[in-house]
Chain A
Amino acid sequence: MAQVMAQDVRQLSRMTLDPLMWTASLAALLLGVSTLFLIIIYVLYQASGLIGEISLGAFLFSEAWVPLAEPPRLGIMHAWMSTLYVTAISLLVAVPLGVGIALFTAELAPPAARAVLQPCLEVLAGIPSVVYGFFGFVTLVVWFEAWFDMTTGVSILAAGLIVAITVTPFIASTATEALDAVSAGDREAGLSLGVTRFYTIRRIVLPRAMPGIFAGVVLGFARAIGETLAALMLIGNSVAIPGSVLDRGQTLTGLVATELGEAAVGTPKYHALFAASAVLMVLILLINVGILLAKKRLLRHGF
């Protein structure tokens, strides 16, 4: 040790600072990443309190949500049906729009348009959920009241359309990436055969980019089911099972956000809300893990 110190002061810092930074940064990493497991384990643990109160089948498929009844009735069918409706509407709008924006950006846009469009989409992705909800409330909801002769315009359709705007930038940016990854050579080979640009895109570019676009759509799906406030503010928060898209409803996320703060800790209702969160969590994590694992394979196709 004395030798080392005599040689170089820097050497000393290597002896002391490096192990310290190594340990501290590894500890930070393990602590931070462990929150993922903390969420999974905690939500499942609290959800398990519902076991014995109600069967999984009844919880998901048959029981109504009347937590104040005696004994409480704790089914979430109305919620996942609303979530399904909202997600379906949002994807019906967001997939054509997002892929259209991507086709424009990657294939047609002059460089200046591309330079403007990308920050625009980032701004769209940066608007908070609650602001979207407010915007929908003062525009869509008001228009619906006039167009469909509704007493209140809050409905599954209004929620679905606003959620569509929130997922569009996602689908657009992933699809643009996928289209950009198709080599210029393939594209030029098509064009050199004298066919139209549309035909080249349809038969050469799109098939190669399809796995990446598919990944974007699936991730958009996961985001749409996790969307909370924008949907909650526009859907009308009704626990009836929705019959049409102009009915009011309550998404899974909305159910948890509305009731969790008021549920007494440890009651069946409290556990049921964690169980609803668990359903959401398992769905979203499975989708993301699937896409992340398949990403390499999906993207390799493009090259």
Chain B
Amino acid sequence: MASNPQWRLHQPRALLAERLFVAGAWIAGSMGFLLPVAIIGYLLVNGIGVLSWEFISAPPRGYPLGLHGGILPAIQGSLAVTMVALGVAFPLAVASAIYLAEYAEHPRFVAIMQFLAECLAAVPALLFGVLGYGLLVVQFGLGISALAGGLTLAMMMYPVILIGSHAALQSVDRSLRESALAMGVSRAYVIRRALLPRAWPGIIAATVLAGSHAVGSAVPVLFTAAVVQTRSAPSLDSPVMTLPTHLFYLVSEAVSFEHAYGTAFVLLVCLLFANTCALVLRRRLRMRGE
């Protein structure tokens, strides 16, 4: 390298290339900063004007539907399917992570399970929707319902919570676990009293991320849970409106861009809030780990 003197610091050609590189990298870096700020800012600025008490507390009205009124049933529906999904996926995923981190004895088994979980996490949302529709809605006869949508989202959340919780459990200091076990208490006791209290910020952070991902995801609920309009409060066996599918309907049928801005605003504010919480939790976990 040094035998190639034209790349030395004082050579004009080398300096030019260096300056171009630095300029290019700074441009890319500022794009990475400006893109999210511009997109979020644009949607929030346009959305905040639409927001009113009526918008978040009334059902949609008008013809075509959604031209007037609000998005209350969509907020309720999104909450309902997400709660069903969390109720199913959270206990399953945390229990699975506990098995992998504490009980599993063969490293090879752990590696295979991790591999399968990562494959599952890579499956696109559409395929979960296709499975949920074909299997849950049609073959199991659940119909288009909050239950079918919640179960579909649960399948999608499971690997995310599993991978995050497993990492959180593993990050707990090895010696803590060993000294506890050396005192002769059971594994279950160690998990409950020593490991979970230290791993919970990481577990909650992974769950919040998986949950916010699911709240924003329209495709899996599009065929399994969502309808354009509901009159009643959400129940497990009836279809629901959700925020992302309502936004999709408002835009694709060109009903009302004004209300689409409002819906996007509500959705984004919820997600940003959840993501910030997850970020703070993860920071705290990392600090404790160091």
Q: Spell out A's residues near B (CB within 8 Å).
A: 10, 13-14, 17-18, 20-22, 24-26, 28-29, 31-33, 35-36, 38-39, 42-43, 46, 96-97, 99-101, 103-105, 107-109, 113, 116-117, 119-124, 126-131, 133-135, 137-139, 165, 168, 172, 190, 193-199, 201, 203, 219, 222-223, 226-229, 233, 253, 256-257, 260-261, 265, 273-274, 277, 280-281, 284-285, 288-289, 292
Instruction: Report the separation of the CA atoms of residues A116 and B37 in the bound assembly, to the nearest whole angstrom.
Output: 11
Partner of B247, one of A21, A105, A131, A253: A131
Q: For this complex, into which size category does the number of interface residues on chain B fall?
A: 35 or more
Nearest A residue to B28 via CB reads A100
Q: CB of B267 within 8 A of chain A?
A: yes
Q: CB of B277 within 8 A of chain A?
A: no
Chain B neighbourhood of A33, CB < 8 A: 96, 113, 116-117, 120
Mark the stretch among B49-57, B186-194, B230-238 that contacts chain A.
B186-194
Chain A neighbourhood of B200, CB < 8 A: none
Q: Spell out B's residues near A (CB within 8 Å).
A: 1-2, 4, 7-9, 14-15, 17-18, 20-22, 24-29, 31-33, 35-37, 39-40, 42-43, 46, 91-93, 95-96, 98-100, 103, 113, 115-120, 122-131, 133-135, 138, 155, 158-159, 162, 184-189, 191, 209, 212-213, 215-219, 222-223, 244-245, 247-248, 251-252, 257, 260, 264, 267-268, 271-272, 275, 279
Instruction: Report the separation of the CA atoms of residues A223 and B187 in the bound assembly, to the nearest whole angstrom.
Output: 40
Q: Is the CB of B9 within 8 A of A196?
A: yes
Instruction: Report the separation of the CA atoms of residues A197 and B22 in the bound assembly, to the nearest whole angstrom.
Output: 9
Q: Is the CB of B40 within 8 A of A123?
A: yes
Instruction: Report the separation of the CA atoms of residues A131 and B129 in the bound assembly, to the nearest whole angstrom.
Output: 18
Partner of A261, one of B103, B117, B209, B222: B222
Residue contacts A-B, CB under 8 angstroms, 29 given: A21-B103, A21-B188, A26-B103, A28-B92, A28-B99, A32-B92, A32-B162, A33-B116, A36-B120, A39-B123, A42-B131, A101-B29, A101-B31, A104-B28, A117-B33, A122-B279, A123-B272, A126-B213, A131-B244, A138-B257, A196-B18, A198-B22, A223-B124, A260-B133, A261-B133, A284-B122, A285-B122, A292-B118, A292-B119
Chain A neighbourhood of B37, CB < 8 A: 120
Partner of B96, one of A29, A228, A284: A29
Q: How far is the CB of A279 from chain B (nearest CB, A)?
A: 11
Q: Is the CB of B7 within 8 A of A199?
A: yes
Partner of B186, one of A10, A108, A123, A138: A10
Partner of B216, one of A35, A123, A130, A197: A130
Q: How far is the CB of B123 from chain A (nearest CB, A)?
A: 6
Instruction: Report the separation of the CA atoms of residues A146 and B6 in the bound assembly, to the nearest whole angstrom.
Output: 48
Q: Which has the most chain B C-beta neighbours within 10 Å: A104, A130, A226?
A: A130
With contacts A103-B25, A104-B26 taken as known, whether A133 is within 8 angstroms of B2 at the C-beta atoms is no
